[in-house]
């Protein structure tokens, strides 16, 4: 993700210096619908891969799980160097994301789905609540940032209301889930709202900063009428950010549940 952010910064700087390729006609310029469709393409790959790994874990026996865990660890170790090489290639050549992007998406989806599946065996329904919370975070930041952008031009000042309202939205979603699903009542039992809010601050903060940065780069490339080929990299980086935010929310809820149960004891 760090390499992707560096690539976005480089892309943004080149756009500001008017050094990005521009098409001959406006029909071939970067557009928000084009980025959205391509982002959906990468997300579908990650989601399908995650579902395959998730349901495999749910239906596997103990021996298969042990072997599966070993395969995942070996896979992460073996693929670390190739993935780093691919990341460097994409840093210097963002257009190569058309080839390497789907491979990254499959790997990210399988890893996240396997981990989520293992925790689902321990805490039933954890995967669902993480999907709801992370989806809420992503849509809240994008919606609030675009809403405040009309009245607050300064991105730094726009960050604070976006962050606070996104944090509130996540907590509201978790409260609603806790009221409707008994197994999550511990999250907000006897003052645990404060505890959950504290654990939500860091993932919400990171999600807000990274999403606002990504969206600012997207808006600038649209404003500077950059070539449509850049949509692939913008869409890929955005899709991987969504996956990362799910991972952040997942960790937050796991820690909050564990801490809440420990204090209750």
Q: Domain coordinates of the chain in residue numbers?
A: 2-264
| Mean pLDDT over the full length of the chain | 77
Structure tokens at 29: 């310029």
Confidence of residue 3 (pLDDT cuts 50, 70, 90): very low
Structure tokens at 178: 């806790």
Render the burial of 229-238: b for 16+ CB within 10 Å, e for the rest. ebbbbbbbbb
> Averaged over 234-244, what is the pLDDT?
86
The most confident of 21-25, 111-115, 261-265, by mean pLDDT: 111-115
Question: Which of 10-24, 128-142, 238-252 is predicted with the least confidence, judged by mean pLDDT?
Answer: 10-24
Can you give the pLDDT at residue 125? 76
Can you give the pLDDT at residue 2? 47
The most confident of 92-101, 117-126, 194-203, 238-247, by mean pLDDT: 238-247
Write the CA distances from 263 to 92, 125, 194, 226, integer angstroms: 49, 22, 13, 54
What's this model's pTM, rounded to 2 decimal places?
A: 0.80
Nearest to 170 by CA among 120, 135, 126: 135
Can you give the pLDDT at residue 120? 80
Question: Which of 25-39, 75-89, 122-136 is predicted with the least confidence, judged by mean pLDDT?
Answer: 75-89
For 138-187, how does the pLDDT look when each residue is reduced to its tens digit (9 = 90+)?
Answer: 999 999 988 888 888 888 888 999 999 999 998 888 778 777 777 666 55
Whether residue 16 is predicted with pLDDT greater than 90 in this model: the reply is no
> Averaged over 229-247, what is the pLDDT?
85
Can you give the pLDDT at residue 44? 93
Can you give the pLDDT at residue 20? 60
Can you give the pLDDT at residue 234? 85
Question: Which of 92-101, 104-113, 134-143, 184-193 is predicted with the least confidence, judged by mean pLDDT?
Answer: 184-193
Structure tokens at 133: 């919370």
Helix H or strand E encompassing 37: helix 32-59
> Averaged over 28-57, what is the pLDDT?
88
Can you give the pLDDT at residue 244? 86
């Amino acid at each position: 993700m760090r390499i992707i952010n560096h690539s976005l910064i480089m892309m943004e700087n080149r756009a500001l210096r008017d050094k990005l390729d521009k098409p001959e006609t406006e029909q071939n310029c970067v557009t928000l619908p084009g980025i959205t469709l391509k982002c959906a393409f990468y997300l579908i790959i990650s989601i399908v891969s995650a579902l395959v790994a998730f349901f495999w874990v749910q239906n596997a026996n103990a021996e298969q799980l042990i072997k599966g865990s070993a395969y995942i660890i070996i896979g992460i170790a073996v693929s670390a160097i190739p993935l780093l090489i691919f990341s460097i290639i994409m840093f210097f050549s963002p257009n190569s994301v058309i080839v390497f992007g789907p491979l990254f998406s499959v790997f990210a989806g399988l890893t996240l789905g396997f981990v989520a599946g293992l925790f689902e065996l321990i805490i039933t329904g954890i995967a669902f609540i993480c999907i709801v919370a992370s989806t809420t975070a992503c849509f809240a930041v994008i919606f609030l940032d675009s809403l405040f952008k009309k009245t607050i031009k300064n991105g730094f000042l726009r960050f604070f209301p976006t962050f606070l309202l996104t944090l509130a939205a996540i907590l509201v979603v978790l409260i609603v889930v806790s009221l409707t699903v008994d197994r999550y009542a511990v999250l907000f039992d006897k003052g645990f709202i404060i505890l959950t809010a504290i654990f939500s601050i860091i993932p919400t903060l990171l999600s807000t900063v990274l999403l606002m940065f990504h969206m600012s780069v997207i808006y600038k490339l649209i404003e500077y009428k950059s070539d449509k080929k850049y949509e692939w990299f913008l869409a890929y980086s955005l899709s991987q950010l969504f996956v990362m935010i799910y991972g952040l929310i997942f960790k937050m809820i796991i820690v909050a549940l564990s801490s809440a149960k420990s204090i209750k004891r």
